[in-house]
Amino acid sequence: YKLFSKTEKSLVSFIVPTFLLIIVFTNCVCTMLDMIMGHHHEALGLHYVMFLPTLYSQCDREQSKKWLPLATSFQALGTYAQTELGHGTHLRGLETTATYDPSTQEFVLNSPTITSIKWWPGALGKTSNHAVVLAQLYTQGKCHGLHAFIVQLRDMDTHIPLPGIDVGDIGPKFGFSEVDNGFLKLDNVRIPRENMLMKYAKVEPDGSYLKPPSAKLTYGTMVFIRSLIVGQSAFSLAKACTIAIRYSTVRHQSEIRSGEPEPQILDYQTQQYKLFPLLATAYAFTFVGQYMSQIYHRITGDINQGDFNELPELHALSAGLKAFTTWTTNSGIEVCRMSCGGHGYSCSSALPDIYAEFTPTCTYEGENTVMMLQTARYLLKSYKQAKAGQQLSGIVSYLNEMEQRQVQAHPASARPTVVDINDLSNLVECYKQRAATLVDLAARSIQQELQKRRSQEDAWNNSAIDLVRASDAHCHFVVVKLFTEKLSEIGDTAIHAVVSNLALLYALHGITQSSGDFLQVGCMLQISVRIKELLCQLRPNAVALVDAFDFHDKKLKSVLGRYDGNVYENLFDWARRSPLNVFVDENYFKKHVFSGNELFRPDL
């Protein structure tokens, strides 16, 4: 270093810290993804995936200097306290209050009702000593809606809860037994003014309020988590498919032809029909998860530059795709479990654990039906803009084409359209037409309700089923579109052919599942035979396709899904190692088994 010139020293002084920062940031992101993807469920999960990202995204410069070193060094162990006992997805209904006191320049936080007690945050019960608390901000006699506050919960040395803090664990759950989900009741807890996260909104010392450029910025962490959940859906479904497909090549059952050896159960068309569309879905969701990560970071970069134009689309897309992917994956894991027969019910398969750990995604970070309705609100707003002649951009730009191909109100009179079922671009067009049609039908439903002199709110509620269908169709279109576009990035001809078959199967299977909608838009498709052909074509590559997910046996934790296929030997060994078989008390029967009528003892 002493031999470097002044310019070289300047470059080294810049490059080395920057390189180290990149390593640290990459490690942090990988750890966050590792947590959210289910590799770890220890109590620090929420610290990584919600507390730290909130500090990074919503602290101003001075707050970052104070809180980020404390959080990254684990002196401040944090969680994210949003959900309450009586309110979850409806964030505007949260009741926790933060009232500014200008005489002391402090916020006073309270849980004014039983339903306002914070409920469910992970790591709250026993682990965290700090929390980002979402509360209704009151200053100068006015409520300014939800804002985020950093609240210390426990003494950083003794870990004893501070005065006014009533905190504990909420008890056993369906899964995640090792995570201390907790409750938090606040009673006149005072925090400094500087503990309100003030990158976008601000309260001055005198109590004056400066509003943020967009109210949705408060929910930035939620958008981040929902984007990650899309990737988690792909990850969990890929694990389930890996186990089920590998086991389906080990398990032999019945006879196809009398007198011949029992075939692998993956040779049965019914087994293929259960699993191959789910395998295709896992690939589709993997690509969508990558897209969500890219678009989140791009739009977040724009936001940091003061451009908030694409924030509404990001909010709507993350909400809808979170619901769409988790609903599909949740039911898909159960199909994988059942396709493994009786052994799938055993914890040795890992499938019960995968299901129990994944299923809460359908309700946390936003209950799925409400998420779909949030996406519908954005779709209806975009629909009105398109009808008014405004040119839309982004993922909803297809609504610009409504006037050119307006579907008739009565589907029976719609003219059948001949579609090449082997052309993915044709199928993408079908999904696009279906989405546009269902958005249009939802808008018409609301209009009809308004003509009956319903209020806007009642018209919305009375059209909610149509709105959810429209959002589902929109999300389905997005997934098919992104899957198709991803194929252009695959250079290897053989791999391209196999993944193209997966994309085709995903698109065609989706049409069969919603055939009524596609008939409504005039797409008359003969796809049943083609799906059966695709099942046969994918059969030779099924194991290779799940091997491509590259799950190590230590991560998969499944006897049925072992890479080497030695299922039965290891299943027997797994059972032998059960705690009930490890310890044998020779006096057990003398103590606890009785003859005659002495079958039950009240002291046992």
* Catalytic center residues: 365
Give residue for tokens 């936080």: 109
DSSP string computed for 480-518: HHHHHHHGGG---HHHHHHHHHHHHHHHHHHHHHTHHHH
Q: Binding residue per annotation — 83?
A: yes
Distance in angstroms (rounded) separating the CA atoms of residues 236 and 36: 11
Between the alpha carbon of residue 479 and those of residues 173, 290, 397, 472, 516, the distances in Å are 32, 12, 15, 11, 20
Q: Binding residue per annotation — 361?
A: no
Start-to-end CA distance of the chain, whole Å, equals 76
Q: Does residue 38 contact residue 357 with C-beta atoms inside 8 Å?
A: yes
Q: Does residue 47 contact residue 67 with C-beta atoms inside 8 Å?
A: no
Give residue for tokens 């504990």: 168
Q: Which 8-state DSSP code applies to residue 47?
A: I
**Residue 279's closest CA among 340, 237, 324?**
237
Give residue for tokens 């310890």: 583
Q: Which 8-state DSSP code applies to residue 265?
A: G
Per-residue buried b or exposed e for 459-476, using 16+ beta carbons within 10 Å of the residue's own CB: bbeebbebbbbbbbbbbb
Cα within 13 Å of Cα(366), Cβ side: 29
Radius of gyration of the chain (CA): 28
Residues of each annotated binding site for FAD? 83, 122
Residues of each annotated binding site? 83, 122
